[in-house]
Amino acid sequence: MRCRFTELRSLVIEVLERVVSPEDRSRVFLFAPEPVFASVDTKLLEHVVVSLLANALDSAHESCSVVMRLEERDEAAWLSVTDTPSAEASEKSGVSEAIIEAHGGTLEGSSFALPLGTAPARQPRLAGFHALLIGSGLPHVRDLLAMLAAEGMTAIPATTRSDALRAVRTRKPDAVVADFDMPDGPGVLAELRSRLPHTLIALVTDRSSTRVLSREPIILVNPIDAGELFAVIARRLATSDRDL
């Protein structure tokens, strides 16, 4: 089976729209007030839903309504179809029963229960990347550190030129954020360019004239905003070609 985290209400609606004829559409009602999630093989589960619905429409008098109810109950995802005689349903439920049991659920007459699913954990976008933040005057450093850490990125602050160069020798960073207005900012930038020719470097400055120094892979952020700077770092490191 190929199971994936699925919102079952949407799945059931798609089945109804696809398999119920225009003549029967007014007879079928779906009660699904809240979204219900489970990890399922959608193709196999669609087979079960179609089977239960077809049994209900074939067995019920043409003047009777067919009600499908999807809800979260007893820590399970329940789908039931009314107006399906239990005897006839059991005769036709062999394949459906095997499918539901393969999902860890149970099929009882015209209803089935499936274990509730949990959303898969999102992988941090910057896991495994390393950043170096240089300068004592960098604003919003605490906010930026929190944003990077939330995405799995390790960030180390360095307040002086010597601290920064020592950190670069210890471990090559994937991204550098440097305060260009720090003492000897141009000299720090020159050394960074020399030692890290393909590393993303973002300069923070209050001097608009500094923009003339901008050339790839350097990005100037002025005025500084932690969210904007984080977005630049995340976007650039997410690309496969870091030299552009």
CATH of the domain at 164: 3.40.50.2300
The residue segments making up the domain with residue 187 are 130-238
Q: Is residue 106 part of a domain?
A: yes
What spatial distance separates the first Cα and last Cα of the chain, rounded to whole Å? Answer: 41
**14 and 108 in a common domain:** yes
**pLDDT value for 221:** 62
DSSP string, 173-191: -SEEEEETTSTTHHHHHHH
Q: Is 49 helix (H, G, I), strand (E, B) or coil?
A: helix
Residue 92 tokens read as: 């036709």
DSSP 110-165: TEEEEEPP-PPPPPPTTTT-EEEEE-TT-TTHHHHHHHHHHTT-EEEEE-SHHHHH
**Separation CA 210–CA 217 (nearest Å):** 15
pLDDT higher than 60, residue 111: yes
The per-residue pLDDT for 89 is 44
Q: Is the domain of 232 the same as that of 143?
A: yes
Burial environment of residue 71 by CB neighbours within 10 A (0 to 12, 13 to 18, 19 or more): middle
Predicted pLDDT at 69: 92
Specify whether 166 is located in the same domain as 83.
no
170 pLDDT above the threshold of 80: yes
> Are residue 58 and residue 84 in the same domain, yes or no?
yes
The CA-CA-CA angle for residues 73, 79, 85, to 5°, reads 125
Claim to verify: residue 60 and residue 141 sit in the same structural domain: no
Same domain? 53 vs 79: yes
Average pLDDT value for residue range 84-91: 44
Is the domain of 111 the same as that of 135?
no
pLDDT of residue 84: 46
- For residues 110 and 198, membership in a common domain is answered with no
Q: Which of 52, 86, 115 is the last residue of a domain?
A: 115
Residues 136 and 108 in one domain: no
Residues 98, 164 share a domain: no
Residue 76 has pLDDT above 60, yes or no: yes
Contact by Cβ (8 Å): 167, 132: yes
Domain assignment present for 66: yes
Is 121 inside any structural domain? no
Separation of alpha carbons 40 and 244, rounded Å: 41
> In the listed set 115, 141, 158, which residue is the last one of a domain according to the structure?
115
What stretch of H or E contains 80? strand 76-81
Task: Give percent of the chain above pLDDT 90.
Answer: 20
Phi, psi of 57 (to 5 degrees): -70, -35
- Based on the fold, state whether residues 74 and 106 are members of the same structural domain: yes
For the chain, how many structural domains are there in total? 2
What's the pLDDT tens digit per position in 181-216? 888 888 888 888 888 888 888 888 776 655 545 554
pTM, full prediction:
0.51
**101 and 177 together in one domain:** no
φ, ψ (nearest 5 deg) of residue 174: -85, -20
